[in-house]
Amino acid sequence: MDEISVVGQVVGGKFGDIIIRQKSGSNLEIGDLMVSEENGSFLILQVFALEYGSQIQDKMQQMMSGVTLEQGIVDAQFYEPEFVNYVLARIKPLARVYKEKGEVKIPKSLPLFFNKLRLITKDDLKFLHKEKESIFVGYIRSGSKVIKEAEVWLPAQDVFSHHMLIPATTGRGKSNLVKTILWHVLDTNKVGALVLDAHDEYFGRQGVGLKDHPRSRENLVYYTPSNPPAGANRLTINLQSIRPEHFEGIVDFSDPQFQAIRMAFRKSRSNWIRDLMLTDAVDAGMESSSPARGEFTAATMMVVQRKLRLLLSLEKDENGVIFSRHDVFDSTTKGLSAVEDIVKNIESGKVVVLDTSRLGDEAELLVGNIIASKLLQKYKDAKASGEMDRKPVATIVIEEAPRVIGVDVLTTRNDNIYSTIAKEGRKFKVGLTAITQLSSVIPRSILANMNTKIILGNEMKQEREAIISSASQDLSEDDKNIASLDKGEAIITSIFVPFAMPIKIPLFEDIVKEKGIQRDTTKTKVF
């Protein structure tokens, strides 16, 4: 190591909290990555705190300050200031890299005492090579410096089946990250994804989006209820696809209400919602005056009808045909195979984006529930018949995840499909990619199962604590680091990376500019 690249020297501390003295002029930053070279290996360390150090006592310094401030002496200076005053950085070891084998291991020893350290370079990060079928998430970041040559790729099949959590508050680059991830999922057919896009922001109806990927025609399927652009599908789900259990864990129905729903299903089977909505509660003899029949009160029936009407935005036209105001649900013959088609697309390793921006919260979750239930069942069947290996990993991307896996939801209502997937989906290659501002309301048991977390900036202490306590690597010293993450900066903690990696996520627009589809303006041969 040449002397010019030295940024500091180990002067004390203990394991996990090593103190180095910064070389004058180095200007270390929180999050900076540095290297301590040792025999046959090197340690990667990270700055987590910075403080001043001085050879002059505090009182003396304060007195000197008084002299310059109060007596107007402008040219007073320390004698050899770089020796006297300096910065101490507290650093922690992240990884030990064995040069010969390129192995990366969790460090168990201190750097050599008085060893000189330098900032990390691209050559130190050669172990970060892209493996087959992996997804790009960003570049290694040392403090605020981005090492563009060190790209971070995650093994797609592993990270998605073991669930991914993206905790962040608004404006920290969440959707940019999700788009970047999905962009790379589109490269291959090894991962299928269902994306419930509550803001209709991923496809790129206006501006750039996933549609600009060179393989979007083969691998991207976009469903929208309104005015689909050429090539996109109309999101219409036939009411026949909905079964009573799809409401479980999503909608608050009382026991009698659920009973009424199940009864309607038993009676009419596939057309149960249509028939139920067209039933006159009183005429149907469901009054409380017939308790012997064990049926429900007219009031219960009416509440069920009202809830379904609101939830699915159902109305009745003059011919008595049930339709939904946002056109997503249909009671006639449209959308009969939509769920099956969507699931098949996911099973073929495609990314299916559902524009749910026109749906209410519960309706969005219900749509996701119908599809996710079918998907999980198919994967379970595939496992039972030994055909699992042929299937790609499937992930369900869901925003505001506590709506379905929050503590309050899971304790007051029955399990829903999302919590089932969070708990057991891994066995069947089905995972969740959960995006949330509030990690603290997701039960620890579920948080701990999310084995990859891409942590974006978060100013809420409680949320940071929840993330830190469930991280795959020790982030106990990273509270301030997380709080100070700028837009597009993130920390990846995962069982699939050797250490908690600080990254910079590139701007999605730049990726599209560089790799996006080029409009074909050559003359087309016509028949």
Partner 1 sequence: MRFAHLSDIHLGFQKHEALQKIEQDVFERAIDECISRKVDFILIPGDLFHVNIPEMRVQKFAFKKFREIYDAGIPVYVVYGSHDFSPVSNSVIDLLAAVGYITKVTRATSLDDGRIKLDFLVDEKTGVKIAGLSGLKVGKDHEYYEKLDRDSLEAESGFKIFLFHGGISEMKTDSGMDGENMPLSLLPRNFDYYAGGHMHKFNSQKFDDYPRVVYPGALFAGYHSDLEDNAKGQKRGFVLVEFEDKIKNVEFVEIQNAQYKMIEVNAENRIAESVNKELQDKIREIDPMQQIVIIKVNGEMTSGKTADVDVSAIRDELNQKGALVVNINKNQLTSKEYSITEAKGANKEEIENNVFAENIGQLRFEQKNLIGESGVQLAKKLLAGLIQQKLENEKTADYSARIKENAFGIMGLDKDAS
Least Å from the CB of residue 322 to partner 1: 16
Question: Is 59 or 523 the residue whose CB approaches partner 1 more closely?
Answer: 523
Angstrom distance (rounded) from CA 73 to CA 81 = 17
Least Å from the CB of residue 269 to partner 1: 17
Question: Is 71 or 524 the residue whose CB approaches partner 1 more closely?
Answer: 524
Strand order in the sheet with 501-504: 145-155, 134-142, 501-504, 489-494, 452-456, 164-167, 430-436, 393-398, 191-197, 351-355, 220-224, 233-234
Question: Is 287 or 341 the residue whose CB approaches partner 1 more closely?
Answer: 341
Both tokens assigned to 112 = 């050599």
C-alpha dist (Å) from residue 179 to 70, 373, 449: 57, 25, 23
Least Å from the CB of residue 312 to partner 1: 19
Burial of 513 (0-12, 13-18, 19+ CB in 10 A): exposed
Least Å from the CB of residue 435 to partner 1: 27
Burial of 64 (0-12, 13-18, 19+ CB in 10 A): middle
Question: Is 69 or 230 the residue whose CB approaches partner 1 more closely?
Answer: 230
Both tokens assigned to 125 = 């990060």
Angstrom distance (rounded) from CA 138 to CA 146 = 10
Least Å from the CB of residue 92 to partner 1: 43
For partner 1, the binding residues (CB under 8 A) are: 189, 217-218, 227-234, 236, 327, 333-338, 340-341, 344, 386-387, 390, 519-527
Q: Which residue has the tokens 């250490």?
A: 499
Residue pair 247/263 in contact (Cβ under 8 Å)? The answer is no
- Calculate ∠ Cα 502-503-508, nearest 5°: 160
Question: Is 189 or 271 the residue whose CB approaches partner 1 more closely?
Answer: 189
Angstrom distance (rounded) from CA 139 to CA 244 = 46
Left if phi > 0, otherwise alpha if psi is -120 to 50, otherwise beta: which for 115? beta
Amino acid at 496: F
Question: Is 411 or 524 the residue whose CB approaches partner 1 more closely?
Answer: 524
SS (H, E, C) 42-67: EEEEEEEEEEEEECCCHHHHHHHHHH
Least Å from the CB of residue 377 to partner 1: 14
Least Å from the CB of residue 222 to partner 1: 9
Question: Is 170 or 319 the residue whose CB approaches partner 1 more closely?
Answer: 319
- Calculate ∠ Cα 110-112-114, nearest 5°: 120
Least Å from the CB of residue 330 to partner 1: 10
End-to-end CA distance of the chain: 67
Least Å from the CB of residue 160 to partner 1: 19
The Cβ of residue 172 has, within 10 Å, a number of other Cβ atoms equal to 22
Question: Is 330 or 364 the residue whose CB approaches partner 1 more closely?
Answer: 330
Least Å from the CB of residue 142 to partner 1: 37
Question: Which contacts of 512-521 are long-range, i.e. CB under 8 A and separated by 24 or more positions?
Answer: 512/183, 512/208, 512/212, 515/213, 515/214, 516/208, 516/212, 516/213, 516/214, 517/212, 517/213, 517/214, 517/216
Question: Is 218 or 315 the residue whose CB approaches partner 1 more closely?
Answer: 218
Question: Is 392 or 406 the residue whose CB approaches partner 1 more closely?
Answer: 392
